[in-house]
Amino acid sequence: MKMRAIGQEGFGGPEVLKIVEVERPEAGPAEVLVRVVAAGVNPTDAWHRSSGGLSGGDRPVRLGWDVSGVVEAVGPGVTTLAPGDEVFGMPRHPRPAGCYAEYVTSPARHLARKPSGLSHAQAAALPLAGLTAWQALVDTADVRPGQRVLIHAAAGGVGHLAVQIAKARGAHVIGTARSANDAFVRGLGADEVIDYTETDFTDAAREVDVVVDTVGGAYGPRSLKTLRPGGIVVSLASPAEAALADAARPLGLRSQFMIVEADGEGLRQLASLVEAGRLRPEVAASLPLEQAAEAHDSIQRGGTRGKVVLTVGHG
């Protein structure tokens, strides 16, 4: 049986993304087949599209890791999900998943039940960015009540969720964002917002316990200046260079590069925050699958508030 999906013949700009017809996958042992209703679009997707990203191969991979949809079938040995269940998740990351399609297979425990209060588009905006924020703040930095947390690009895909998660953990949250996003970021729960185009954040943010760096480049080394002894920079945008670790160590500071991992328990924690009214993903734009190239163009231009989502089918 055939299905529609997004494919590409080679690496390049958004224009290489095309609708193709491919064989519909089948659920293997411990897997489920999901009928995709919506798929999230992330900066890592553009990286893989243009250069191969983490796959490191000479042929493009099928794009997309964020999915929200309905379980169509279950493979042998699955006990946690059943056909008809509404689910969301981030299958297989950092390995290829292929969620830009009408159907996708996933290990059953890489998914969780979709929060009832979210649409499929909202749920598809949550897994990769939400798990990135959760694993950075909770699993890596162990944010505790009363700590000061600095989140760069606080209005972005990861940043806007990190603000909410840090606030739910009882932290004092400082975000960097353009002035146009000040009210939005404060509405998420940020206690302070620094307009990085007008103010050097190293002057405005002090005695910080945790920095979540979603930007990369010079932001990691500069962020060291904001930390109090024992503080940590969690780098999400690029591997923590040896120079950054070497600079942090004599100051009694830490730096840690992190790659988000598939995490069913983390998804359930995010869903609990959603159900409690403590977390809500912002959908900047929702485009049909056929407009995947336009979605990639949008995220590459930058400045997106929240997440861009592809709609694939009806829930």
Q: Are strands 208-213 and 172-176 parallel, antiparallel or unpaired?
A: unpaired
Distance CA 24, CA 18 (A): 17
CATH of the domain at 12: 3.90.180.10
Q: What is the mean pLDDT of residues 213-227?
A: 93
Q: Are strands 307-311 and 103-107 parallel, antiparallel or unpaired?
A: unpaired
Q: Which tokens sit at 79?
A: 């006990």
> Are the CB atoms for 176 and 204 separated by under 8 Å?
no
| Residue 55 pLDDT exceeds 70 | no
| Residue 53 pLDDT exceeds 80 | no
The count of structural domains within the chain is 2
Q: Which residues contact 285 (CB under 8 A, 6 or more apart)?
A: 295, 298, 304, 308, 309
Per-residue pLDDT tens for 123-177?
Answer: 999 999 999 999 999 999 999 999 999 999 999 999 999 999 999 999 999 999 9
Domain endpoint, select from 257, 272, 293: 257
Residue 212 pLDDT: 97
Same domain, yes or no: 137 and 200: yes
Q: What is the mean pLDDT of residues 9-22?
A: 94
Size of the chain, expressed as the number of residues it contains: 315
Residue 293 pLDDT: 96
Same domain, yes or no: 292 and 219: no
Give the three-state DSSP class for 197: coil
What are the helix (H) ranges across the chain?
43-51, 120-124, 127-134, 157-168, 182-188, 201-204, 219-223, 242-248, 264-275, 292-301
Tell me, yes or no, whether 133 lies in a domain: yes
Domain extent at residue 184: 129-257
CA angle 126, 15, 97 (to 5 degrees): 40
Same domain, yes or no: 238 and 298: no
Confidence of residue 237 (pLDDT cuts 50, 70, 90): confident
Residue 57 pLDDT: 66
Q: Residue 171: count other Cβ atoms within 10 Å of its Cβ.
A: 24
> Are the CB atoms for 191 and 151 separated by under 8 Å?
no
CA angle 271, 239, 138 (to 5 degrees): 30
Residue corresponding to tokens 């861009």 = 308
Distance CA 176, CA 159 (A): 9
Distance CA 174, CA 87 (A): 32
Same domain, yes or no: 99 and 24: yes
Same domain, yes or no: 40 and 136: no
Per-residue pLDDT tens for 251-265?
Answer: 999 999 999 999 999
